[in-house]
Amino acid sequence: MAKFPVFLFLMLCLAISVPRAEEIAVDPAAPTYHNARFGFSLSWTPGNYTVSEAENGDGITVTDGKGLTMLAYAALDPRVGDVTREDFFARANRKKAAYRRVNRQEGWYVLSYVENGNIVYIKQFYHEDHWPTLRFEYPQSMKQQYDQLVTKAVSTFQPFLCDGECLP
């Protein structure tokens, strides 16, 4: 019987020590985020959002409780440094997309497709050691509601403000 409270105590300690994303404050009237680790920034339309930053500083997750998930991140994946620019662009052709745009000169691609009733929109930029990425997912039935947010976030996303000099 004495083992049960010890087990609960250990489980509580484990739950408390697991790394989690931390909610951060943004101005609801003019939401903006700047990533100090990878040097990217973006803004999006005003609204009631929950914004959480990854504990490791890779980026943010923005949700609105109505079906929107927006991710803005870059990651130091060990495979990124081994992927050529051509391999990066080949990724744009792997998925069936209703909309696809590739800009090799500026180093980015956009994919948009429907998956499980949700619109998925991805814009990813090439850099030799990290790939700044914007990813949106929201119900297809709410496309009109989220079009303005997606347009603003994509148009204000600046992926290379420090061109990798921010990296630890």
In the prediction, which pLDDT does 163 show? Answer: 56
Output the pLDDT for position 167: 59
Q: Quick one: pLDDT at residue 135?
A: 96
Q: Measured between alpha carbons, how far is 41 from 156 in angstroms, rounded to an integer?
A: 8
| pTM above threshold 0.85 | no
Tens-level pLDDT at each residue, the chain (168 residues): 455 444 444 344 434 333 345 777 788 788 999 998 888 999 999 999 999 999 988 999 999 999 999 999 997 665 656 677 888 888 888 778 999 999 999 999 999 999 999 999 999 998 877 889 999 999 999 999 999 999 999 999 998 877 555 655
CA distances for 157 relative to 6, 14, 32, 65, angstroms: 49, 37, 10, 23
Q: What is the pLDDT of residue 4?
A: 46
Of the candidates 114, 127, 122, 145, the one whose C-alpha atom is nearest the C-alpha of residue 70 is 122
| CATH of region 20-156 | 3.40.1000
> CB within 8 A of 167, min separation 6: which ones?
37, 38, 76, 129, 130
- Taking 3-state DSSP, the helix, strand and coil percentages for the chain, each rounded to the nearest 5, stand at 25, 30, 45
| Beta strands 99-103 and 69-73, pairing class | unpaired
> Which residues 6+ apart lie within 8 Å of 127 measured at CB?
74, 107, 159, 160, 163, 164
